[in-house]
Chain A
């Protein structure tokens, strides 16, 4: 599924704090377009930039992360 809609660098970016992440997998369920699971259940950020139409899901994923490990970084200037 194509997810690129805006020029690179203008979108908020997903970032994982790996020291916190415990691979609970909630973010994978909410954002299958951007995040996959690896062999051990930890998220693979397939695409860090969050397109507008997934913004709500991304914010929800950040909010429900049980370990506060998922972050949305501001767009690169």
Chain B
């Protein structure tokens, strides 16, 4: 293989792996939303949805690694390692490439916190996991802005399908149907904790220490 052939191969691989990574990310976000609803997909139990969500997420990381690696090696893309880590410093369309870098950074944070979930605890893990709702739009915008194939119909089609799917899932997530899952057993609608049943919040509760307390009473 000549150098020129290698460059062409890297260029195709870089673009292709990027698109695949986006599709996998989209699928992972969709499955994440389904997982959060606590409902199984038809023919797929809940734990399987969670496991597929996890596997697809990991797979997207792998494709993203290929995407970044090939474009750093590819002379045509002129990516430097610094651009991979620090957003908005690239010479090639700094904004759009920077969004991709940002998405990558978020994905790395997501990956690390998920692998260390048991050690970090649920609260930290969840806070970082919420970042996926920013990560995904960044990845889409990056594809739109940096992609050299955007004029082609096939990419428009893929992007459109991704956006439509996540938009629908997002609407579903915010609907009553999501918040009040119908698969719960009859009469078992989970009561929202009332003011009374919830422990007093630090801001509202009366913390009284003597001697102020006696005078306030």
B122 contact set on A, CB distance < 8 A? 20, 67-68
Contact of B47 among A23, A30, A68 (CB under 8 A): A30
- Of the four ranges (under 10, 10 to 19, 20 to 34, 35 or more), the interface on chain B belongs to 10 to 19
Number of chain A residues close to chain B: CB under 8 A: 18
User: Do A39 and B188 have beta carbons less than 8 Å apart?
Assistant: yes
Pair count A-B, CB < 8 A = 42
B23-45 interface code vs A (CB 8 A; 1 in, 0 out):
00000000000011010000001
User: Do A41 and B50 have beta carbons less than 8 Å apart?
Assistant: no
A29 contact set on B, CB distance < 8 A? 45-47
Given contacts A40-B185, A40-B190, contact A68 B121 (CB under 8 A): yes
Tell me the residues in window 1-56 of chain A with beta carbons closer than 8 Å to chain B beta carbons.
20, 22-27, 29-30, 39-41
**CA of A66 to CA of B38, assembled, Å:** 10
Nearest chain A CB to B166's CB is how many angstroms away? 20
Q: Which residues of A contact B (CB under 8 A)?
A: 20, 22-27, 29-30, 39-41, 60-61, 64, 66-68
